[in-house]
């Protein structure tokens, strides 16, 4: 499994798509934070925080992470190497998990340069250090967990079709629904007292909770369960190829 994991990480970092995705992510966040005028511009807001990063990143990740994961199994199936992969002396879940961790590593790497934003606001604050450090680190943790859920969704989408474009679109749709779909359903007040329960089924509600700086185990467990659900669903699809 370790060899497969290293192979996945190398394949991401040795291809242009990995660097393009990270560059686009950093460029878009930078433009909203420092260049585009409006409520998201950190300098215009007058507050010492980097909330713009944590507000915009989930939507940017919703498109960029599927671009990373769309090749995970779609390319293997298109080229026929999936059969060779499945005959290796490792379990189907280890294969899925290796690809998942590889994608998650790339997400984590893309977040590292954003620490420069934190350092900039930290030293620009009046007085220096006038930034809610606890909420910031909680937001980073929440964004990393949210990214992990997107990666698991993207890998699942990649396992159901050999077409990378279809995989990309399916991953976006599923990620959008899991992030904001339940909020939209709950907002219609169709289900009475169940509205709050339905909203809590979405990733957004738990992500917002983590952004407050309080790392609640319930929010972490929920996002982990969502990730595991899509990973085990991917495993079932791989197993079906053996039948």
- Tens-digit pLDDT profile for residues 151-184: 999 999 998 888 889 999 999 999 999 999 888 8
Q: What is the pLDDT of residues 15-32, one digit of tens each?
A: 777 788 888 888 988 888
| Count of beta carbons in the 10 Å neighbourhood of residue 176 | 15
**Helical (H) or strand (E) element with 8:** helix 2-14
* pTM score: 0.89
What's the average model confidence in pLDDT over 120-134? 76
pLDDT recorded at residue 117: 87
Q: What is the chain's length?
A: 243
Tokens of 232: 């085990």
* CA angle 78–84–87, rounded 5-degree value: 135
pLDDT recorded at residue 87: 67
Contact 9, 105 (CB under 8 A): yes
What's the average model confidence in pLDDT over 220-230? 94
137 confidence band (pLDDT: 50, 70, 90): confident
Instruction: Find the distance separating the first CA and the last CA of the chain, reported in whole Å.
Output: 23
By the 10 Å C-beta count (0-12 exposed, 13-18 middle, 19+ buried), 81 is classed as exposed
pLDDT above 60 (res 242): no
106 confidence band (pLDDT: 50, 70, 90): confident
* Residue ranges per structural domain of the chain: 2-240
Average pLDDT of the chain, as a whole number? 83
Percent of residues, the chain, with pLDDT higher than 90: 26
Greater model confidence, 205 or 128: 205
């Amino acid at each position: 499994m370790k060899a497969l994991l290293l192979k996945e990480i190398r394949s991401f970092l040795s291809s242009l798509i990995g660097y393009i995705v990270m560059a686009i992510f950093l460029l878009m966040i930078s433009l909203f934070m420092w260049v585009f005028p409006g409520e998201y511009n950190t300098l215009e807001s007058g507050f010492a925080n980097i909330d713009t990063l944590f507000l915009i990143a989930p939507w940017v990740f919703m498109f960029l992470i599927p671009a990373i994961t769309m090749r995970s199994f779609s390319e293997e199936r298109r080229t026929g190497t999936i059969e060779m992969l499945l005959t290796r002396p490792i379990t189907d879940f280890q294969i899925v998990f290796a690809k998942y961790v590889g994608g998650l590593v790339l997400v984590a790497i893309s977040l590292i340069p954003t620490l420069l934003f934190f350092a900039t606001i930290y030293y620009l604050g009046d007085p220096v250090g006038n930034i809610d450090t606890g909420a910031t680190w909680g937001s980073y943790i929440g964004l990393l967990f949210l990214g992990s859920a997107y990666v698991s969704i993207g890998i699942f989408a990649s396992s159901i079709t050999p077409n990378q474009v279809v995989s990309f679109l399916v991953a976006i749709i599923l990620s959008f629904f899991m992030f904001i779909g339940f909020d939209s359903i709950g907002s219609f007040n169709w289900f009475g007292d169940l509205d709050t329960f339905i909203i809590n089924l979405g990733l957004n509600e738990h992500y917002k909770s983590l952004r407050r700086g309080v790392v609640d185990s319930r929010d972490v467990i929920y996002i982990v369960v969502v990730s595991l659900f899509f990973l085990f669903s991917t495993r079932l699809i791989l197993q079906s190829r053996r039948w």
